[in-house]
Amino acid sequence: MHREPPPFFHRGPSPLARLTFFALLAIATMIADHRFGALEAVRLSLSVLVHPVQQLAGAPATALARVGEYFSSQDRLLRENEELKAKLLEFAAAAQQSKLLQAEQDHFLAMTPARSRFAADGLLAEILSHGRNPFVRKLVLDKGLTQGIKSGMPVIDDAGVVGQVTAVGTFTSEATLLTEKDQSVPVMLTRNGLRAIAVGSGKDGSIDVPFMPVSADIQNGDLFVTSGIDGTYPAGLVVARVTAVEKNAAYVFAKITAKPAAGVDNHRFVRILTATRPASPPPPTQADERRPVKERPPGKGRRQP
């Protein structure tokens, strides 16, 4: 029986036919998977098989990341611990000083007939928005005439003086910040009792202290508080801290710049002090000054021997 040898090259479909067939098969598979989820089980099975390989491949990087995080967290905890210890000591010293000052104040007030020139009355106000004028820094508060707010009342926060009420509406009011040019506050240094006038610079949120002699004892870090002599701001409210002192012998006055203690840029709630200073007696007139003083008769009021 004659048998032909097998062909040397296997003959089959052409490459183009194979490409067309597999392309159609791939498209049909994608359509079936997209519309009916036919390959969902296959993907889940492959993910289960590949997961250990992925974990093994990512193990070195995960270990290095955990080691780095451990050391960074240790450094962060040590740094935070040091900061907390420093703050604790600072707050402890401040608490002791406040107790001493409170005791001295109670002692002095107990010896005086008048308890205080100012009351502690005030209203908590929420800041609705900033002023419409971008060149003037003002705050719009949610308290107005209906709550008894009047123009000129001081506005404070938990750190110090914020500003002063300059415009009042029926339900809202407008407060001008302490750093504006037209705002001035009589202040006093807590270190030596030196009196001055703090005036808003109107720029970079700073406060100027003009007309201070070059020989004035003012240093960086000194704290200014309200002196209370103007009758608007109660005495003792924190105003600003000195940040720069420039003294030049060629000039009569020193250039002093201070930073406001209150958070004039991060407000949500402020307090409007509604208590006012009692009315002072009127100053003497010229008629009172010219009025002659009655002389005491000789011998009257004296004890006779």
Q: Which residues contact 137 (CB under 8 A, 6 or more apart)?
A: 130, 131, 176, 177, 179, 180, 264
Query: 176 near 182, Cβ under 8 Å?
Result: yes
Range among 5-14, 69-78, 84-93, 214-223 rated most confident: 214-223
Is the confidence at residue 278, as pLDDT, over 70? no
> Cα(61)–Cα(164) distance, rounded to whole angstroms?
59
pLDDT reading at 59 higher than 90? no
Q: How confident is the model at residue 42 (pLDDT cuts 50, 70, 90)?
A: confident
Name the pairing type of β-strands 223-226 and 238-246. antiparallel
Q: What is the mean pLDDT of residues 196-218?
A: 88
Integer Cα distance of 86 and 92 in angstroms: 10
What is the per-residue pLDDT for 243? 92
Is the per-residue pLDDT at 41 higher than 70?
yes
Quick one: pLDDT at residue 258? 93
Q: Can you give the pLDDT at residue 257?
A: 92
The residues, any chain, with a CB within 8 Å of residue 217's CB and separated by 6 or more, are: 192, 194
What is the average per-residue pLDDT within 131-140?
73
All residues at 6 or more sequence positions from 161 whose CB lies less than 8 Å from its CB, including other chains: 154, 155, 178, 185, 226, 233, 237, 238, 239, 260, 261, 262
Structure tokens at 301: 């009021």
- Who has greater pLDDT, 289 or 30? 30
**Alpha carbons 206 and 179: distance in angstroms, whole number:** 6
Tokens 């100027």 correspond to 208
Structural domain spans, the chain: 21-110, 122-273
Query: From CA 22, how far away is CA 66, in angstroms rounded?
Result: 47
For 190, half-sphere exposure in the C-beta direction (CA atoms, 13 angstrom radius) is: 16
- What is 122-273's CATH number? 2.40.10.340
Tokens standing for 259? 């930073």
**Predicted model pTM:** 0.53
The H or E element containing residue 125 is strand 122-130
Q: What is the pLDDT of residue 117?
A: 42
Mean pLDDT over each residue of the chain, to the nearest integer: 78
In angstroms, the CA 199 to CA 212 distance is 12
Spatial contact of 240 and 261, defined as CB atoms under 8 Å apart? yes
What confidence tier does 236 reach under pLDDT thresholds 50, 70, 90? confident
